[in-house]
Structure 1
Amino acid sequence: MVALTTRPAAPARTAAPARQWIALASVLLATFMGLLDAGIVTVAVPSIQQSLGASFGEVQSVMAGYTLAYAVGLVTGGRLGDLFGRRRTFLVGVLLFVLTSVACAAAPTAPVLIAARVLQGLAAAVMLPQVLSVIQSSFAGPERSSALGFYGATIGLASIAGQIVGGALLAWNPLGLGWRSAFLVNLPIGLLAILVARVTVAESRGPRSRLDLAGAAVLGVALVGLLLPSALGWPMWAWPILLAGGGLLVGFGFLERGKPTALVPMRLLARPAIVRGLSTVLAFYAGNAGFFLLLAYHLQAGLHQSALASGLIFAPLGVGFAVSSLAGKRFGALVTGTALMTAGLAAVIFIVTAVPASAQVSWLLPALALSGVGEGLVAAPLIGRILAGVDPADSGAASGILLTATQVANAGGVALIGGLFAAMLGATPGTPGTGFAHYAHATGITAAAVLVLAVVTGALARPLGRSTSH
């Protein structure tokens, strides 16, 4: 890559307001594409396994390969934007994501698909941190809060669309493509994002520097050690790998101290608001990921709903999340949001344990909507609070750290909540012959653990909500 001339970050707010918001729409389109892809592929996994004659381990690797590559590359991807320009890095990331999506669609065998998914995850790690970086460098004050609200709404809408669009594509089977259409849908979305971003997104970058390759390598290996065991279902060798990953992460911290070209500037982690905010992120997203997993099993294995029907039942949660993300522009919404999350989860616990199976779906819809409203009131202000006051030169690194924490929380939540759910169920989820009463019991107890994480989120978020005036 050619080195760029050093210059201060150029905020897009100097441009015409219309162009500024169109630029936001173009980067949010990439966010939507990335999250949509994850949801669609999840629905398409059974078809992929059957079509390619893949083993269960290979199917796991199709999912895990993307997740690991994405999580491992986020901090480095964010830092690339700081060093080489966020607009340029974003455009490269979107183009790579589109090309690797085409490679996934064309994969003739499971090993080739796994390799393409790893490359697709790396492309996402280059693309997605730039979205928050562009928001951070382009907007200020109330406009930034509004932009983050749209970011949260995009997350909510994409979470709905993934399962619904995935189910619809498989049912429609356009041009007889089957599961391959799940990847080709990224082609028009990505190309549109590139065309609009090229002419609307203003370039910004940090001071001229070199990429910390040693730090990137150590952090990458550490994250693989932390995330690989849960991604592959906690095999026998999980604990040594996990401990090694934790040790390397500690070593990474010592390696980065005092380094002028550090991949993760330690001044970021010296800010109390960032540390508390990241702790809140871990509790919030771990609870959400675990809740989605156990509720999906309860709906599909306990209540015998189809994958598409299960996705539609989740829709009120996504809609509530999207709508409240637009409304929750003030950081004080964090406290209200966690209270609504807690109330929604308490209602879910009552419904799955006390309401007859035949009536649970209709009862769950308003409870999930309430929980989604609460989550939306938390997500956008939480991101804003973590990024508030970050030097524009470090916005890419900060975005990468934030998204990495989200991925670690998702993996940890699935592992811990999923493990507790299986223990309470007394069998592997989805095992034939396990009755509704077993699922109701396991879901109720495990949802109580998610409720505890919601309470912890509220306790951690309360000082964040009080510490700002907008």
Structure 2
Amino acid sequence: MTSKAATGTPVVRTGPAPDPADGLDPRRWKALWVCLLVGFMSFLDVSIVNVALPSIQSGLHTSEAGLSWVLSGYVLAFGLTLVPAGRLGDAYGRRTFFLAGLTLFTAASVLCGLAGSETWLIAARLGQGVAAGLLTPQISGLIQQLFRGAERGKAFGLLGSTIGIATAVGPVLGGLLIQALGTEHGWRWVFFVNLPIGLLAFPLARRLLPRGERAAQGARGARAGLDPVGVLLLGGAVFALLLPLIEQRSWQGSAKWLLLGLGAVLLAAFLGWEHRYARGGRAPLVDLGMFRFGSYSLGALLGAVYFAGFTSIFFIFTLYLQSGLGYSALAAGLAITPFAVGTAASSVVAGRNVYRFGRRMITGGLVLVVLGLTGTWLAASLASGPAAGWATALPLFVAGVGSGAVISPNSTLTLQDVPVAQAGTASGMLQTGQRVSSAAGIAIVSSVFFARVGDGWQAAFRAGVLTSAAIVGAALVIALVDLSRRRGRA
């Protein structure tokens, strides 16, 4: 069966026949579980590595700069890959790039575990970042492709729950591995755990994932269809914006902030090039027309501001517990778990009801996050030492419940009007913005945190939490303004 994508390019549909009852793939739920398994692996790797950093440093005798690159190299490679990977998946088949990303991620994980030097580990982490960037937009694109209506909201809710569970399990599992196997070798198994997951997921993905929509290469050829200039401009912009943010503590001096200006110039050049490229009748890397959808532009803005606020809490809380209060990696992981458990629990419920409550649900979720972070600030003011983890458990859980009502529903509503043929690219752009804003948020909150460390770890943590709450409050203001405008039009 053939059809035409939004750009008019002929596409060929292959894979399992649609369900005659509803026109959807009858194996879509089984395919979703494969996507969730792989998503679990990639997000587990983010949270599990954080608690392993002290062990990596002692086991490999890694410098502070090298340890920073174990984290920042992953983030950079991930952010640079997202949009081109989404475009490739949209154009040539999401299944193909899902399998490629899964293979690379599994292999890179093994190489991380076998690392014999700092340089080796950093290079392998870059490979993991590229692989995660290949995988992530394919997962969102496949959900857009396989599901419609309420089912799509439920699928995104399950994805949000999976992310929450991976985030919760990661620090605890990492702490258990390091405690059981020792600091010298325990950190290696933090990476080796991905091998059995990858080996299980690959044959299932080959069997169950639909081949989807594969654009035929026209006379222009693959290079013209992939907009190489756009790829370079966007990649340069993301690199220039991310690097000074994630290296703000390691890179001394103020010269690094000049890169932000360069990033802004490259981003403007990218937007101008994409507009010109599309006017020439060619397929740009990013169809800027998707920003004309109010749901997409609003959701992208709200998501970016929210990610700048809430992701920083994990960074400063781990520092406070381990460096300030002397918690072990396992104890710190357990203390962070209430937030992730709340997110996992509420994501499923939110996904089932997203079309019923719409952006009112997201607004309510943001209110809970602000209240939860404010409660965390209050708990940290009243308790310290071993009691801090217990005192902050309930407010962090409340914040997590709110977060589950924000992330998955916002993704669902943001992408709802985007054509399925552009789903991977739209998801890549959305998540690139979230990665840049997360780095910016961590840079802002950590600057506040370290500026107050001289007054004590407790004072530094409280200042950081208040800053995070203020940024989430800005996202709440955006949501409230949108709700007010919607009521005014009703």
Residue segments in structure 1 that go unaligned for 5+ positions in a row? 427-436
1:292 to 2:311 alignment: no
2:444 to 416, 426, 430: 416
Residues 426-460 of structure 1: CA deviation (Å, up to 9, x unaligned): 3xxxxxxxxxx722222223322222222222222
How far apart, CA to CA, are the structure 1 residues paired with 2:238 and 2:328? Answer: 34
1:381 to 2:381 alignment: no
1:328 to 343, 350, 354: 350
Map of 1:79 onto structure 2: 87
Map of 1:278 onto structure 2: 300
Indicate the percent of aligned positions where both proteins have the same amino acid: 35
Structure 1 residues 108 and 300: alpha-carbon distance in aligned structure 2, compared to 1, 3 A threshold:
closer
CA shift at 1:10, angstroms? 8.0
Map of 2:3 onto structure 1: none
Residues 163-189 of structure 1: CA deviation (Å, up to 9, x unaligned): 111111122229x85322122111111
CA shift at 1:87, angstroms? 1.1
Map of 2:422 onto structure 1: 394
More displaced stretch, 389-398 vs 197-206: 197-206
Map of 1:251 onto structure 2: 269
Map of 2:243 onto structure 1: 228
How far apart, CA to CA, are the structure 2 residues paired with 1:297 and 1:45? Answer: 12
Map of 1:434 onto structure 2: none
CA shift at 1:52, angstroms? 2.2
Task: Report SS of the residue matched to 1:7.
Answer: strand
**Is the contact between residue 207 and residue 393 of structure 1 (CA under 8 Å) also seen in structure 2?**
no
Give TM-score, length-normalised by structure 1: 0.91
How far apart, CA to CA, are the structure 1 residues paired with 2:388 and 2:109? Answer: 38
Give TM-score, length-normalised by structure 2: 0.87
Residues 199-234 of structure 1: CA deviation (Å, up to 9, x unaligned): 112122364452111111111111111111122235
**Is the contact between residue 277 and residue 464 of structure 1 (CA under 8 Å) also seen in structure 2?**
no
One-letter identity of the residue aligned with 1:352? A
Residue segments in structure 2 that go unaligned for 5+ positions in a row? 1-8, 218-224
How far apart, CA to CA, are the structure 1 residues paired with 2:464 and 2:14? Answer: 46
Structure 1 residues 114 and 361: alpha-carbon distance in aligned structure 2, compared to 1, 3 A threshold:
closer
How far apart, CA to CA, are the structure 2 residues paired with 1:257 and 1:301? Answer: 49
How far apart, CA to CA, are the structure 2 residues paired with 1:164 and 1:30? Answer: 19
CA shift at 1:463, angstroms? 6.1
1:168 to 2:168 alignment: no
Matches within 5 A, 1:110-121: 110-121=118-129
Structure 1 residues 54 and 425: alpha-carbon distance in aligned structure 2, compared to 1, 3 A threshold:
closer
CA shift at 1:294, angstroms? 2.0
Map of 1:430 onto structure 2: none
Matches within 5 A, 1:144-183: 144-173=152-181, 177-183=185-191
**Is the contact between residue 339 and residue 400 of structure 2 (CA under 8 Å) also seen in structure 1?**
yes
How far apart, CA to CA, are the structure 2 residues paired with 1:420 and 1:13? Answer: 54
CA shift at 1:424, angstroms? 2.5
**Is the contact between residue 81 and residue 133 of structure 2 (CA under 8 Å) also seen in structure 1?**
yes
One-letter identity of the residue aligned with 1:158? A
One-letter identity of the residue aligned with 2:322? Q
**Is the contact between residue 13 and residue 211 of structure 2 (CA under 8 Å) also seen in structure 1?**
no
How far apart, CA to CA, are the structure 1 residues paired with 2:332 and 2:47? Answer: 13
Structure 1 residues 355 and 117: alpha-carbon distance in aligned structure 2, compared to 1, 3 A threshold:
closer
CA shift at 1:17, angstroms? 7.3
CA shift at 1:16, angstroms? 7.9
**Is the contact between residue 445 and residue 464 of structure 2 (CA under 8 Å) also seen in structure 1?**
yes
1:308 to 296, 316, 330: 330
More displaced stretch, 453-462 vs 369-378: 453-462
1:263 to 269, 272, 285: 285
Map of 1:340 onto structure 2: 368
| Matched pairs, number | 454
CA shift at 1:419, angstroms? 0.5
How far apart, CA to CA, are the structure 1 residues paired with 2:18 and 2:315? Answer: 40
**Is the contact between residue 11 and residue 137 of structure 1 (CA under 8 Å) also seen in structure 2?**
no
Structure 1 residues 411 and 244: alpha-carbon distance in aligned structure 2, compared to 1, 3 A threshold:
same
Task: Report SS of the residue matched to 2:212.
Answer: coil
RMSD, matched Cα: 2.3
